[in-house]
Amino acid sequence: MFSGSFTALITPFHDGKVDEKAFQAFVEWQIQEGTNGLVPVGTTGESPTLSHVEHKRVVELCIEVAKGRVPIVAGAGSNSTAEAIDLTRHAKMAGADAALIVTPYYNKPTQEGLFRHYEAIAAAVDIPIIIYNIPGRSVVDMSVDTMARLAKIDNIVGVKDATADLARPLATRVAIGADFCQLSGEDATIGGFLAQGGHGCISVSSNVAPRLCADLHKAWKSRDLDRFGEIRDRLMPLHAAMFCESSPGPVKYAASLLGKCSDETRLPLAPIAAASRVRVETAMRAVGLLN
């Protein structure tokens, strides 16, 4: 079972290239800060603009630093099933603990198409697979019924749910069972998500607040609801600021304020606007991340 705070890692760039040194230092910092798991080359890692060579290299760099100390869930999705199989095979070969596979974007597959896509990947690669359901980016929304069909496949073990529908985790739990891992993809709704049967979060905010995010989940697991509520409330301005523009622009700027990397993104993402920079910095000060 994957649970707690997993960081959807940014991919640092320098002069247009992956900054391998900064990335590996960032991974080590995350682990030292108590993050429960790491997710390289997801949406926050700018996977759409990484070449396949870069994508695979970033996964390898993450696993190399982690050395088995925390689970690694490697992004391996694509809107081409064959391409997703290739990336998932690499994730297994590199030593990832699981693969995160997004619902195919742009193609707009039917529910049957979604089922067959994941069925094919699961049959091709013996690695735990987490479905990534994010209708806001991929347009399609996997139904609970389709997910229940897929959950019968042994190595399809969970979902990253970015629907922001707080009825969904409970409906999924009732349909599939408590052992099907449910990780939120929405930082701001994590309290409701956990209360409705979720197990953790694949977080953007934990890129810059890893200890606070990990402590939030620690408090939930120990049923220290006063501490949980305190941290939840404290983090809310940060969650809002991290999505004031398209992610990962704001979180990369936030990481640059901490000296972890540059705020460089790849086109078509542009540097965030001056007003957004003020908003991010203000939120980080309110949370206590900047002196």
User: For the chain, how many helices (H) and strands (E)?
Assistant: 12, 10
- Report whether pLDDT(1) > 80: no
Sheet holding 4-8, edge to edge: 37-39, 4-8, 200-203, 181-184, 156-161, 129-133, 98-102, 73-75
Does residue 163 belong to any structural domain of this protein?
yes
pTM of the model: 0.96
The rounded percent of the chain whose pLDDT value lies above 70 is 100
Does residue 243 belong to any structural domain of this protein?
no
- Which 3 state secondary structure label does DSSP give 247? coil
Q: Which pLDDT value is given to residue 218?
A: 98
Q: Which pLDDT value is given to residue 291?
A: 80
Does residue 249 belong to any structural domain of this protein?
no
Q: Which pLDDT value is given to residue 135?
A: 95
Tell me: the pLDDT tens digits for 110-138?
Answer: 999 999 999 999 999 999 999 999 999 99
State how many domains the chain has: 1
Angle at 100 between CA 94 and CA 105, to 5 degrees: 125
Closest CA to 118 of 94, 153, 143: 153
- Whether the upstream peptide bond of residue 248 has omega within 30° of 0, thus cis, is yes
Angle at 61 between CA 214 and CA 258, to 5 degrees: 50
Q: Which residue range(s) make up the domain with 23?
A: 4-222
Give the confidence band of 288 by pLDDT, cuts at 50, 70, 90: very high
The rounded percent of the chain whose pLDDT value lies above 90 is 99
Does residue 227 belong to any structural domain of this protein?
no
Does residue 274 belong to any structural domain of this protein?
no
Distance between CA atoms of residues 106 and 25, nearest Å? 35
In which residue are the tokens 């409705």 written?
196
Give the confidence band of 53 by pLDDT, cuts at 50, 70, 90: very high
Does residue 207 belong to any structural domain of this protein?
yes
- Report whether pLDDT(203) > 80: yes
- Give the domain CATH number at 191: 3.20.20.70
Closest CA to 20 of 87, 50, 248: 50
Task: Return the DSSP state at 22.
Answer: H
Does residue 264 belong to any structural domain of this protein?
no
Distance between CA atoms of residues 103 and 91, nearest Å? 18
Catalytically active residues are 132, 160
Does residue 273 belong to any structural domain of this protein?
no
Average pLDDT, rounded, for the chain: 97
